[in-house]
Amino acid sequence: MKALAAAAFLAAFLPAVLAATPGEVPVGGTLREAPLYGLTLDFRKLSDLRGKPLVINVWASWCAPCRAEMGSLDRLARGHNGKQFNVIGISTDDYPEKAQAFVVGARVSFDNYIDRDLVLENMLGANRIPLTVLVDAKGKVLAKHYGAREWDSRENKALIARTLGVKLD
């Protein structure tokens, strides 16, 4: 009887936990236009980044796992940004000055933006962070990876290369 009650509870609760964010673009879908408000650079549009695959990391300055993986993303960007693909960060911080302070203090080399109106957070499906989204040169979402990773590890560089169809050292 307890197992049945637990199963009923999970059946009712699990869909809400796994529900998509409002306006989420699923894997296989194409990202829509969105504003990119730079933390240390000028305003851009998401479409300005088309033409080269993207590694998009969604993070927040208060998120310990996000902060922990930022170094590996920076090392990945320093080795490959602008060559085979571009790396960008999207902060979900409510206070841009906190996000900017983190980026500057951590000496992050790749472009980071603030998601002022939750447009990107919802479109990318960031109902939990960190989230890293791999996108092809035309804006098609190829993969979504939740949780912190060592993005410059051999294993994850191979994952990026396979998913984006690029050759990495």
**Does a structural domain hold residue 85?**
yes
pTM of the model: 0.87
User: Which positions ≥6 away from 144 have C-beta within 8 Å?
Assistant: 27, 124, 125, 131, 132, 133, 134
Q: What is the DSSP secondary structure assignment for residue 128, as one 8-state letter? A: S
Residue 92, domain extent: 29-164
pLDDT in tens, 85-111: 999 999 999 999 999 999 999 999 999
71, burial (CB in 10 Å: exposed 0-12, middle 13-18, buried 19+): middle
Question: Using 50, 70 and 90 to split pLDDT, how confident is the model at 168?
Answer: confident
Give residue 18's pLDDT.
52
Taking the C-alpha atoms of residue 126 and residue 93, their distance in angstroms, rounded to an integer, is: 13
pLDDT in tens, 12-32: 444 444 557 889 999 999 999
Residue 76: CATH number of its domain: 3.40.30.10
**Does a structural domain hold residue 13?**
no
Contact in structure between 1 and 8 (CB atoms under 8 Å)? no
